Amino acid sequence: MKTAVYEIVKIGDPLLREKAKKVPKVNANIEKLLDNMADTMRAADGVGLAAPQIGISKCVVVIDVGEGLIELINPEIIAQEGHELDAEGCLSVPDVQGKVMRALKVTVKGLDRRGQDVHITGEGLLARALQHEIDHLHGVLFVDRMVK
């Protein structure tokens, strides 16, 4: 199957500030979107990407912090603990880094590419990436959370 690498939407685009739409049903179009998002994230040397970052208002994220690709549809944080201040950047906010306070450990529920329920618990960088990408689905950018 042929995939596409998308241009990443940059800060200033109003789509990045909108709440993304829930995916009512996982189908072949969503599977293709996941493939395209993974290719786009890798091409940009990112560790995560949310669908709004490629101009698509859907609750879909992909993450790979070096432990393998995670694909989540309609993800929600259901538990969090601890907190940690660390540096973040974003493919949609080029050449900017800043310190952001995030939960140290999170558990997220969502759907996989087959529409099956999944729960993922992440700590450290994975927890940070999950929170960062889920923020994108709510129209929140890391610069909104940066410690001044």
Q: Which residues contact 30 (CB under 8 A, 6 or more apart)?
A: 23, 58, 60, 73, 113
Q: Is the pTM of this model over 0.95?
A: yes
Domain that holds residue 67: 14-145
- Is 132 within any annotated ligand binding site? yes
CATH of the domain at 130: 3.90.45.10
Whole-number pLDDT of residue 60 = 98
Q: Which pLDDT tens digit goes with each residue over 33-44?
A: 999 999 999 999
Q: Is the pLDDT of residue 3 over 90?
A: no
Domain count, the chain: 1
What count of Cα atoms within 13 Å lies in the side-chain half-sphere of residue 127? 21
Task: Quickly state the pLDDT bin for 21 (edges 50, 70, 90).
Answer: very high
Structural domain includes residue 79 = yes
Task: Quickly state the pLDDT bin for 1 (edges 50, 70, 90).
Answer: low
Catalytic residue list contains 133:
yes
Whole-number pLDDT of residue 148 = 81
Q: Are strands 48-50 and 117-123 parallel, antiparallel or unpaired?
A: unpaired
Structural domain includes residue 7 = no
Q: Which pLDDT tens digit goes with each residue over 107-118?
A: 999 999 999 999
Give mean pLDDT, residues 98-127: 98
- Is 136 within any annotated ligand binding site? yes
